[in-house]
Amino acid sequence: MTSPPLVNLTIEGRPVAVPPGTSILEAAKYAGVLIPHYCYHPALPVAGLCRMCLVEVEKMPKLAPSCATAVAEGQVVYVHSEQAREARKGVLEFLLINHPLDCPICDQSGECELQDYTFAEGRKDSRYQEPKRFNPVEDFGGDVVYVPNRCILCTRCVRFMDDVAQDSVLNVSERGDRAVIGKFEGADLTHPWASNVVDLCPVGALLSKDFLNKARAWELDRAASICPNCTQGCNVILETRDNVVVRMRPRPNDEVNKFFACDYGRLNYRWINRRDRVELPYVRATGQLVSTDWDRAIRTAATLLGKGRAFVLASPMLSNEALYLLSRLTRGNGGVGVFGIERGPEAPLPGVEDLALRAERAANVRGAELLGFAERDTPVDEVQAGDVLVVADEELSGADPTAAAAAASRAGAVIVIATTLPAWARDAADVILPITNFAEEEGTFTNLRGRVQRFLQARAGPGVARPSWFVLSDLLAARGERTSYFLASEVFAALAADRAEFAGLSYDSLGLRGAPARAGQFAEAAS
């Protein structure tokens, strides 16, 4: 069936052709024109009430709200005509009359759409002489605090909770200039996805308690990443200040998380900043762990690996690159790879198809499965006498500590590749190789639907810790394998050449949107 013909129109002198039913505001994006707006959001039902997006359309007697007006054949639209600019200037003035002069103390400063548009198109000074409306700050529950004085009543938060979270705990209360966002006592923003209202709020009216007063927007360094906390693989931005991760925010991805991230995911970043890190390589000499240089540590580990079957216990938080190289340790010696997984309650976002906080609380479970690792409830129980136990970034914190120690004593040798040192390893490890965590290196994760997504480095790792793939590459080279991986992309290229599920993918093809592993085989929705 053929699709209906595109509609042709001109926006700011540029021709565009879009499907019928597209709003002028969306069509303008194709023309490379941003029409300033507040209440409109592609993931929410259209409200058309902020009146910021008014544009001039030839032959229409009044300015048209571009978010709520469909394109028509031959339309000529002006976004920056004098009429449209004057209208926007008017909206900005009206928004600012009751708005407090809070920029110096407001978290939104530097990433505030009221600031941005006022700076670009607003009045230079205020002519408002009357007293400003005042309401006290309110705790909306969950991670959200509401500052009514700054609210521009765009109602994005209300529409999100109503339509996307489908938990109508927010309302607009009162009328006229007395209107505020309200709620009912006992019903808070405790919905697992409620924090998204903070991202949606164009101004500093809805703020994250977690981020409150922590850093200025312009002090932050940003890196595109993937949320590590479950298998959904929501795209995020990791924001750091002086090498400390202070915030994790969703990044739009139409195929995975639209514009959203769950509260559990986004607030679970503090572990990235843990200070109790392994910063140096160690080897056991005369019963004691002694710090050493990388060469000696790698050589010692390589020697140990030759002494028996490799039993690799890997964390499903490791990247595809690291897991691939770890799986190569099991070749030629009848080795096995296992992983354990923590689970928690699932929490779907009802208004978005196939988006949920997943029960498996780690980023790369699917990657581990595809790369030859098997899930075990009690992963170390199968360690046999004489095995070379390789524990990669797995603290076994949930497991019985005696089981871990017992497995270690059964094993012929224990190689620990770690970000933080598990307690049992202090007595049991023969070699300790320090690695960076996902935020400190580059790599990819595979989400539950088989989508392979890149994450970029957001902060520097501690001490002389090295990226996991780098360390494993050296280890394999020390075992005699012909590896010379100097970039994560090279490891991925080897992975893609070696494993059919990843055939045809490359860092270039993944970009920052990701791509499905072998389509059809792994992309079906789980029951």
Partner 1 sequence: MGYPQKIHPRETPVLSKHFGDAEALTLQGWRARGGYTALEQALGMEPAAITNVVKESGLRGRGGAGFPTGMKWSFMKPGDGKPHYLCCNADESEPGTFKDREIMRWTPHAVVEGCAIAAYAIAAETTYIYIRGEFTEPLREMTRAVKEAYGAGILGPNAMGSGKRIDVHVHKGAGAYICGEETALMNSLEGRRGNPRIKPPFPAVAGLFSQPTTINNVETLAAVPQILTNGAQWYKGLCLGSPKSTGTKLYSVCGNVRYPGNYEVTMGFSFKEFLYDLCGGPPEGRTFKAIIPGGSSVPIMTAEEAESAVMDYEGFVAAGSMLGSGGVICFDDQQNMVKQIARLARFYAHESCAQCTQCREGTAWTTKILERIRDGGGTPEDLDTLLDLAEQMTGKTICVLSDSCATPVVSGIQKFRREFEALIPPSRSRVSTAALANAVA
Partner 2 sequence: MSDAARDMGQKVAPSELAAGHDPHGAPYEPVFVGGRRAELDELLTHYPTKMAALLPALWMVQEDRGWVSADAMVEVAGVLGLTPAYVRGVVTFYTMYHQHPVGKYFVQVCTTSPCNVCGAEDVVRALLERTGCGELGVTSPDGRFTVIEVECLGACGFATPVMINEEFIESVTPQRVPDILSRLK
Token pair, residue 141, equals 């529950």
Contact 380/313 with Cβ under 8 angstroms?
A: yes
Site string for partner 1, 125-154 (x = CB under 8 A): xxxxxx---------------------xx-
Say how many C-beta atoms besides its own lie within 10 A of residue 503's C-beta.
12
- Pick the stretch among 171-179, 207-215, 319-327, 406-414 that binds partner 2 (CB under 8 A): 171-179
Q: Closest approach of Cβ 197 to partner 2, in Å?
A: 14
Does 65 bind partner 1 (CB under 8 A)? Our answer is yes
Q: Which residue has the tokens 């590749």?
A: 417
Answer for which of 50, 262, 388, 448 binds partner 1 (CB under 8 A) is 50
Does 102 bind partner 2 (CB under 8 A)? Our answer is no
Between CA 191 and CA 462 the distance in angstroms is 36
Answer for which of 10, 12, 30, 49 binds partner 1 (CB under 8 A) is 49
| Residue 119's binding partner out of partner 1, partner 2, none, with CB under 5 to 8 Å set by partner kind | none
**CB nearer partner 1, residue 88 or residue 266:** 88
Which residue in 249, 247, 244, 248 sits closest to 274, CA to CA?
244
Between CA 459 and CA 457 the distance in angstroms is 6
| Residue 163's binding partner out of partner 1, partner 2, none, with CB under 5 to 8 Å set by partner kind | none
| Residue 352's binding partner out of partner 1, partner 2, none, with CB under 5 to 8 Å set by partner kind | none
Question: Which H/E stretch holds residue 249?
Answer: strand 244-250
- Pick the stretch among 15-23, 43-51, 338-346, 516-524 that binds partner 1 (CB under 8 A): 43-51
Q: Closest approach of Cβ 50 to partner 2, in Å?
A: 19
CA angle 357, 438, 423 (to 5 degrees): 95
| CA–centroid distance for 53 within its chain | 30
Between CA 10 and CA 76 the distance in angstroms is 5
- Pick the stretch among 19-27, 140-148, 159-167, 174-182 that binds partner 1 (CB under 8 A): 174-182
**CB nearer partner 1, residue 47 or residue 189:** 47
Say how many C-beta atoms besides its own lie within 10 A of residue 31's C-beta.
19
- 500: CB partners within 8 A, 6+ apart: 518
Between CA 153 and CA 50 the distance in angstroms is 8
Half-sphere exposure of 378 (CA within 13 A, CB side): 10
Between CA 333 and CA 324 the distance in angstroms is 16
| Residue 222's binding partner out of partner 1, partner 2, none, with CB under 5 to 8 Å set by partner kind | none
Contact 355/332 with Cβ under 8 angstroms?
A: no
| Residue 48's binding partner out of partner 1, partner 2, none, with CB under 5 to 8 Å set by partner kind | partner 1
| Residue 104's binding partner out of partner 2, partner 1, none, with CB under 5 to 8 Å set by partner kind | none
Site string for partner 2, 174-193 (x = CB under 8 A): xxxxx-x-xxxxxx------
**φ, ψ (nearest 5 deg) of residue 148:** -60, -35
**CB nearer partner 2, residue 4 or residue 136:** 136
Between CA 78 and CA 96 the distance in angstroms is 25
Residue 431 DSSP code: E
- Pick the stretch among 13-21, 74-82, 132-140, 364-372 that binds partner 2 (CB under 8 A): 132-140
Does 176 bind partner 1 (CB under 8 A)? Our answer is yes
- Pick the stretch among 59-67, 209-217, 425-433, 461-469 that binds partner 1 (CB under 8 A): 59-67
Does 129 bind partner 2 (CB under 8 A)? Our answer is no
- Pick the stretch among 129-137, 271-279, 429-437, 473-481 that binds partner 2 (CB under 8 A): 129-137
Between CA 53 and CA 67 the distance in angstroms is 7
Between CA 373 and CA 375 the distance in angstroms is 7
**Residue ranges binding partner 2 (CB under 8 A):** 130-136, 138, 148, 167-178, 180, 182-187
**Residue ranges binding partner 1 (CB under 8 A):** 46-52, 54, 62-63, 65, 68, 87, 90-91, 93-95, 97-98, 124-130, 152-153, 172, 174-179
